[in-house]
Amino acid sequence: EAPLLPPAVLCCSAGSVILESPDLSVMEGDDVTLRCRNKMPSFDLSADFYKDDVLIRSSDTGNMSIHSISKSHEGCYKCNMSGAGESAERQLTVTGEELQFCHMVQFQITKLKFLIYAKCELYFSLRQSAARRHGGHCSPHQTV
């Protein structure tokens, strides 16, 4: 079974039933677990899971795993625990590979900017040290 991702903010339910889902959008291909739980102690963990108000799965454990998630899994999810009530709806958003690629490019650009900045800082630091050693003036033939 897929690991439970960090739960979203749990204050979204007026009743005693909470649907725990990922905080942020998930990447295509990831495994996601939705967890339905009752704030009130209960031995009955069974829950029905709905996507866009259509029953999609019943579970004896209160968990629903979606393996290798895709764009078709996007929608509003909620759960219902018999005798306890229904959770608030949670939006599940799936981001594609193109967004992952953009994040990777953005990371590489940031990394490159940092390397350039660090090399410039080192260059100017070495120049200042050399200038101080030579009384603040470099002869035209000296290089750092």
pLDDT grade for 43, boundaries at 50, 70 and 90:
confident
| Amino acid identity for residue 110 in this structure | T
Query: Which pLDDT does position 8 carry in this prediction?
Result: 40
Going from N- to C-terminal start, the domains of the chain cover: 10-95, 97-136
Mean pLDDT for the chain overall: 75
Write the single-letter amino acid at 22: P
> Under 8 Å CB-to-CB from 28, ≥6 apart: which residues?
69, 70, 71, 94, 95, 96, 97
Q: Measuring CA to CA, which residue among 85, 89, 105, 109 is closest to residue 97?
A: 105
Range name among 4-8, 33-37, 40-44 with the lowest pLDDT average: 4-8
CATH architecture assignment, domain 10-95: Sandwich (2.60)
H or E element: which one contains 71? none
Taking the C-alpha atoms of residue 44 and residue 81, their distance in angstroms, rounded to an integer, is 8
pLDDT(59) > 90: yes
Confidence check: pLDDT of 143 > 60? no
pLDDT at position 3 is 44
For the stretch 80-139, pLDDT in tens is 998 889 999 988 888 876 545 555 556 566 666 666 666 666 666 676 666 666 555 544
Q: Where does 1-144 show beta strands of DSSP type E? A: 17-20, 26-27, 32-38, 47-51, 54-59, 63-66, 75-81, 85-86, 90-92, 94-95
Strand partners, 66: 32
